[in-house]
């Protein structure tokens, strides 16, 4: 040790320790997401507390109190060095023209942080794995992720969709995209694909959240669709390129679909179907949760109806107008109340309506007889008769009042009851 | 005036005045129901306060404070003497083999008295006419009215029903009758007729509540149906024989369907349709109100969906099981929760499920590799592997583990994801 070394203490790398470089953080997050499946609560908590770099360091050393996590990580470490795997993943991602987005980036979608508050019913399996926010997200497509998800709605449902469900999902996808909303779904067959296609048909971008690497989106039968999505929208995933679409990953992925969007629409789901799971995540996050009903004779709507029956917060929606009412800002995007055509007789007051109803289908009656039939006094009857005449609902004939020929026709054959009233 | 007349004062008919004879009361109620349309609140209030006989007396004399009622009655009186009309109606009713039931009779359906509490939204028209309980009810059929309605459910909907709606209404009518419930409806085309027919097919009695005389049930196209209903069930009406099915009478009638039954089921209704009106009466009476959804692409389900969207108290039902859950006694008639078939893999714990998912679709992997892929420690992995082998979900082969051929088939071609999970 020289004198100078003694006199000049080695500069402590304060900045580096307290604030690791961004690429170091990115690598650590990737390594963590490989060491334990995305969504693992204990890992997310540790990374939030000590930072991703230190969290990775401790996990590799086995320096964590959670014995189950320690054992799981040890088993994973047997397959390779997480830092090397993360570095290779970054290279692979770059070669694909994709990127890894982390919470430290500007384009990180802020809404997913709400997942820290996600608590699931005790009956739910794999609770520890499904609830934490993502540590990082792979993105294929040029649109900034946060911007893409800012005004977004999830449209999800069964893979074994009926023609009805596919039609409705396509309409909803089209309508949302047409109004400037991003349609988010899982890229699966059936409802997911229909929703994505609807959005693309409207020339709107759409986001597919995958349960496997963005380099090999699943299912392969949707490859052409995925290419179209990547062109104008985004393919995103919590798993690194090359990752398989293992079954449990779909359940983990679903929480991101629910958390990243303003609201979730369920179109079709069989009884006890995984398709309702995203809906349950959205409900647990207190996000607008919407369900499209279907025929009660359709097995593919049983799950959808069960959600509506069991969760009063879930709202029945018939189409885009209703969806915009739920997710849109108050005062804008409000659905009009459904109503039939307005007819002159709809504007009649009680007495006028009673008098009109008292006019026989055939033949003529005088004002006195009409007043008696209607139970309205004669003076009022006379006043209302001229009103009805003015509206063209009655004509004067043979010293009395009769229905005009056109009106008679409209009331239908053999009926004294008009329209669909009862 | 003779001496005797002076000494012996005319006996004051104390009993007659305080408690008029039953046939007098019946005649008075019939006359009142003709003088003002059934459901008129002011008439019902007067009859409740001073008795039907005195109420009729005062109305005929014009001795009522309500000027509008007075004028309406005066107009009606021009058409005839209400007492004579009532007497003729009784004779006519007897000739038909029908009867007039009044609240003083044992068979009066007690539930309709709840109508005194019915208050309707201000926007509703003809409020005064639609809200009071009936003054009397004409009945065709031998079953005591009160008994018929004791365990009853109203099934109502659009006249312009779709094949889907008719099918569902028939199924519901059948299922309710099969479980000993009386199906009540309005005898109209479409949903009403389907519900009645379903009940008759199950050999169960059914009740049609008409908006015209029981001698000429409307519509005539349903005459054969009405005859079958009268044979085993009941045709009932608040209007005397010969009365026309005037349009506003259907709206007045609907309150009785809602009030006389334990609950109301709406099957199909167009937007802004009168078919939803009975449902609104049931809601206002705090009766179980149920709605069968349908395809959002069907105009005939728009009204039904609007009821579900606007009234959180209205419950979505898919069939008889759900309906019985609403109207049945607690603990009995409960619908089972919809669920798919149970498979062995549904009973797996988290680790076993993860390990099973890590087994490649083709080829063989050793325990260490599976542990690494699944992120589960090796000791647990070994334990779970023997469990999975025992369940027949895995086989040992070539010194490792593989999926059994049958399991591979069940997971489907080209898929690493089973069932409908996502």
pLDDT tens-digit series, residues A157-170: 999 999 999 999 99
d(CA B368, CA B378): 6
- Half-sphere exposure of residue B292: CA atoms within 13 angstroms, side-chain side: 35
d(CA B38, CA B44): 9
Place of tokens 């009857």: A381
Residue A298, min C-alpha distance to chain B (Å):
10
Of B71, B74, B422, the CB nearest to A186: B422
d(CA B28, CA B31): 5
* Closest CA in chain A for residue B171: A297
A212 and A243 in contact (C-beta within 8 Å)? yes
Size of chain A, expressed as the number of residues it contains? 422
Q: Judge whether residue B263 has pLDDT over 50.
A: yes
- Half-sphere exposure of residue B155: CA atoms within 13 angstroms, side-chain side: 39
Closest Cα partner for A41 from A157, A149, A124? A124
The answer to whether A421 contacts B160, with C-beta atoms less than 8 Å apart, is no
Question: What is the overall mean pLDDT for chain B?
Answer: 86
Return the bridge partners of B83, or none: none
What percent of chain B shows pLDDT beyond 90? 63
* Closest CA in chain B for residue A417: B247
Of B250, B350, B421, the CB nearest to A421: B250
If you ran DSSP here, which 8-state letter would residue A109 be given? -
If you ran DSSP here, which 8-state letter would residue B261 be given? S
If you ran DSSP here, which 8-state letter would residue A132 be given? S
Find the helix or strand (DSSP H, E) in which A51 lies. Answer: none
Average pLDDT of the segment spanning B165-175: 98
Give the per-residue pLDDT at B126: 47
Give the per-residue pLDDT at A201: 97
d(CA A245, CA A387): 71
Which residue numbers in chain A have pLDDT < 50? 1-6, 11-16, 122-128, 330-332, 337-342, 407-422
Give the per-residue pLDDT at B66: 86
Q: Which CATH architecture has domain A116-327?
A: 3-Layer(aba) Sandwich (3.40)
Q: Is B399 left (phi over 0), alpha (psi -120 to 50) or beta?
A: left
Q: What is the pLDDT of residues B171-219, one digit of tens each?
A: 999 999 999 999 999 999 999 999 999 999 999 999 999 999 999 999 9
The answer to whether A271 contacts B340, with C-beta atoms less than 8 Å apart, is yes
Confidence of residue B376 (pLDDT cuts 50, 70, 90): confident
Give the per-residue pLDDT at B74: 92
B376 to chain A, any CB pair closer than 8 A? The answer is yes
Compute the 3-state secondary structure of chain B and give helix, strand, coil in percent, each to the nearest 5.
50, 10, 40
d(CA B422, CA B419): 9
Confidence of residue B5 (pLDDT cuts 50, 70, 90): very low
Of A37, A188, A374, the CB nearest to B422: A188
Q: For chain B, positions 228-257, list CB contacts with chain A under 8 A.
A: 244-248, 250-251, 254
Residue A213, token pair as written in the block = 């690497």
Of B78, B211, B422, the CB nearest to A368: B78
Which of chain B's residues have a Cβ under 8 Å away from the Cβ of A353? 125-126, 247-248
- B344-410 in CATH: which number? 1.10.10.10
A299 to chain B, any CB pair closer than 8 A? The answer is no
The answer to whether A422 contacts B37, with C-beta atoms less than 8 Å apart, is no
Q: Is A399 left (phi over 0), alpha (psi -120 to 50) or beta?
A: left
Average pLDDT of the segment spanning B235-261: 95
A316 and A266 in contact (C-beta within 8 Å)? no
Residue B104, min C-alpha distance to chain A (Å):
27
The answer to whether B71 contacts A376, with C-beta atoms less than 8 Å apart, is yes
Higher pLDDT, A293 or B7: A293
Give the per-residue pLDDT at A406: 54
Which of chain B's residues have a Cβ under 8 Å away from the Cβ of A294? 293-296
Q: For chain B, positions 83-122, list CB contacts with chain A under 8 A.
A: none
Q: What is the pLDDT of residues A233-261, one digit of tens each?
A: 999 999 999 999 998 899 899 999 999 99
* Residues forming CATH 1.10.10.10 domain(s) in chain B: 344-410
Beta strand spans in A8-141 (E): 99-101, 137-140
B226 to chain A, any CB pair closer than 8 A? The answer is no
Helices and strands: H and E segment counts in chain A: 20, 11
B338 and A303 in contact (C-beta within 8 Å)? yes
Domain range B127-327, its CATH number among 3.40.50.450, 3.40.1280.10, 1.10.630.10, 3.40.50.1980: 3.40.50.450
The answer to whether A271 contacts B381, with C-beta atoms less than 8 Å apart, is no
Q: What is the CA radius of gyration of chain A?
A: 32
* Residues forming CATH 3.40.50.450 domain(s) in chain A: 116-327
d(CA B358, CA B372): 9
Give the per-residue pLDDT at A420: 41
The answer to whether B416 contacts A247, with C-beta atoms less than 8 Å apart, is yes
The answer to whether B421 contacts A251, with C-beta atoms less than 8 Å apart, is yes
Give the per-residue pLDDT at A319: 96
* Residues forming CATH 3.40.50.450 domain(s) in chain B: 127-327
Which of chain A's residues have a Cβ under 8 Å away from the Cβ of B378? 75, 78
């Amino acid at each position: 040790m020289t004198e100078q070394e003694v006199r000049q203490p080695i500069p402590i790398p304060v900045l580096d320790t307290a604030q690791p470089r961004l690429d170091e953080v990115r690598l650590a997050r990737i390594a963590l997401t490989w060491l334990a499946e995305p969504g693992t609560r204990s890992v997310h908590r540790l990374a939030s507390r000590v930072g991703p770099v230190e969290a990775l360091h401790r996990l590799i050393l086995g320096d964590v109190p959670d014995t189950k996590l320690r054992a799981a990580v040890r088993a994973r470490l047997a397959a390779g060095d997480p830092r090397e795997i993360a570095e290779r993943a970054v290279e692979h991602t770059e070669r694909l023209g994709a990127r890894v987005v982390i919470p430290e980036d500007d384009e990180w979608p802020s809404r997913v942080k709400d997942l820290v508050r996600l608590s699931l019913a005790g009956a739910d399996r794999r609770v520890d794995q499904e609830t934490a926010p993502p540590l990082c997200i792979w993105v294929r497509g040029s649109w900034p992720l946060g911007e893409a998800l800012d005004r977004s709605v999830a449209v999800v449902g069964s893979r074994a969709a009926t023609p009805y469900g596919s039609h409705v999902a396509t309409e909803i996808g089209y309508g949302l995209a047409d109004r400037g909303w991003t349609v988010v779904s899982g890229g699966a067959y059936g409802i997911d694909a229909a929703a994505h296609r609807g959005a693309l048909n409207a020339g709107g971008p759409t986001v597919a959240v995958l349960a496997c690497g963005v380099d090999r989106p699943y299912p392969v039968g949707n490859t052409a669709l995925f290419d179209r999505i990547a062109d104008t929208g985004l393919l995103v995933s919590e798993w690194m390129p090359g990752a398989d679409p293992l079954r449990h990953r779909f359940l983990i992925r679903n929480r991101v679909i629910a958390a990243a969007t303003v609201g979730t629409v369920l179109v079709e789901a069989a009884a006890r179907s995984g398709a309702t799971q995203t809906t349950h995540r959205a409900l647990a996050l207190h996000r607008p949760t919407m369900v499209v009903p279907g025929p009660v004779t359709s097995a593919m709507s049983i799950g959808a109806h069960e959600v509506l029956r069991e969760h009063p917060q879930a709202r029945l929606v018939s189409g885009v107008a209703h969806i915009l009412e739920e997710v849109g800002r108050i005062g804008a995007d409000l659905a009009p109340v459904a109503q039939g055509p307005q007819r002159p007789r709809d504007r009649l007051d009680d007495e006028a309506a009673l008098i009109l109803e008292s006019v026989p289908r055939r033949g003529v009656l005088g004002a006195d007889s009409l007043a008696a039939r209607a139970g309205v006094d004669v003076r009022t009857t006379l006043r209302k008769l001229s009103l009805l005449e003015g509206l063209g609902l009655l004509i004067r004939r043979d010293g009395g009042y009769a229905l005009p020929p056109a009106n008679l026709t409209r009331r239908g054959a053999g009926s004294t009851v008009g329209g669909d009233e009862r």
